[in-house]
Chain A
């Protein structure tokens, strides 16, 4: 597994941001069935502070848990974005996707993004959870939930949070195409190659779906 999972705070004393990273037992109740074989795969890595939750996990993403993290009596809207893994890239069939991360750095970047967007849009809460490891086609690879007093701010904040995440968070997607050897490291940035030698250049990623629950 290429993922650097800071499952123990004392394993990387030279990595300062890990002091605020907590490694805890899986809090999502029904998600253990998707664990991969890695021994660290069921240990989510997360940071929470008032009104903000960010996490990386090898398990299924849970809508209800994520929405509940931003629920507030002062909110009139919760917007949830779900990024799901698409079965093709420019018509090339993708048989397999996996994500890896530089976990302590990625969590720090997610936290910075969420802090900024929380303030900018006057949110009551924001949660951002990215899945790692193999994500079967059609499943969620990222959930972002935001709550705000009124829906307009929530829509805008949700979109901005996703765009910032895709531009900055240190997570990498690898696509394996059916009938071809090897795989492709995708790059979100326009014009960036960011892939192995002899790999085709690639563009934007997953299929999207949005939900709004307006109260």
Chain B
């Protein structure tokens, strides 16, 4: 399954492993633009408890590149329409 193109004004967010279990979804489209620093708040509003159980242990990619959570507004990245964001829990390959 590949991610379909998100609707206009949205970005795709992909959920893997524990993120998928917590949300009950593999992916969904969320409204864009969205400042990266608001991503976890947005997800916590939708999926109560996800921050503590999943997000605090996870990394984030935008268009297949890892991004750091901004520590201040000045260095914020904005998730744009059409972007592919993913929640990456600790891996267990091998």
A→B interface (CB under 8 Å): 1-8, 11-17, 40, 83, 99-102, 104-106, 108, 130, 141-142, 162, 165-174, 185-189, 192-197, 205-206
Cβ contact of B94, chosen from A13, A15, A162, A192, cutoff 8 A: A162
Whole-angstrom CA separation of A198 from B70 in the bound complex: 30
The 10 closest A-B pairs by CB, nearest first: A171-B93, A194-B90, A187-B90, A172-B17, A186-B92, A192-B90, A11-B2, A173-B92, A166-B94, A169-B93
Contact A194 B2 (CB under 8 A): no
Asked if B21 CB lies within 8 Å of chain A CBs, one says: yes
Contact A4 B90 (CB under 8 A): no
Contact B89 A105 (CB under 8 A): no
Cβ contact of B93, chosen from A165, A174, A193, cutoff 8 A: A165
From known contacts A12-B2, A14-B83, A102-B86, infer whether A142 and B93 are also in contact, taking CB-CB under 8 Å: yes
Asked if B53 CB lies within 8 Å of chain A CBs, one says: yes
Contact A15 B84 (CB under 8 A): yes
Contact B93 A7 (CB under 8 A): no
What residues of A have a CB within 8 angstroms of the CB of B1 in the complex?
1, 3-5, 40
Asked if B26 CB lies within 8 Å of chain A CBs, one says: yes
Contact A16 B94 (CB under 8 A): no
What residues of B have a CB within 8 angstroms of the CB of A186 in the complex?
92
B→A interface (CB under 8 Å): 1-5, 12, 14, 16-18, 20-22, 26-27, 49, 53, 57-58, 61, 63-64, 82-84, 86, 88-94
Can you list 30 residue pairs at the A/B interface with Cβ under 8 Å? Answer: A3-B1, A11-B2, A14-B82, A14-B83, A16-B64, A17-B64, A40-B1, A104-B64, A106-B93, A141-B94, A142-B93, A165-B93, A165-B94, A166-B92, A167-B91, A168-B91, A171-B92, A172-B16, A172-B89, A172-B93, A185-B21, A185-B89, A187-B89, A187-B91, A193-B90, A194-B57, A196-B21, A197-B53, A205-B92, A205-B94
Contact A16 B91 (CB under 8 A): no
> What residue in chain A is nearest B3 (Cβ atoms)?
A12
Whole-angstrom CA separation of A165 from B94 in the bound complex: 7
From known contacts A5-B2, A172-B16, infer whether A188 and B90 are also in contact, taking CB-CB under 8 Å: yes
Contact B91 A169 (CB under 8 A): yes
CB distance from A60 to the nearest CB of B (A): 17
Residue among B53, B63, B64 having the largest count of chain A Cβ atoms under 10 Å: B64
Whole-angstrom CA separation of A188 from B89 in the bound complex: 11
> What residue in chain A is nearest B22 (Cβ atoms)?
A196
From known contacts A14-B82, A102-B16, infer whether A194 and B64 are also in contact, taking CB-CB under 8 Å: no
What residues of A have a CB within 8 angstroms of the CB of B88 in the complex?
102, 105, 170
Whole-angstrom CA separation of A5 from B3 in the bound complex: 9
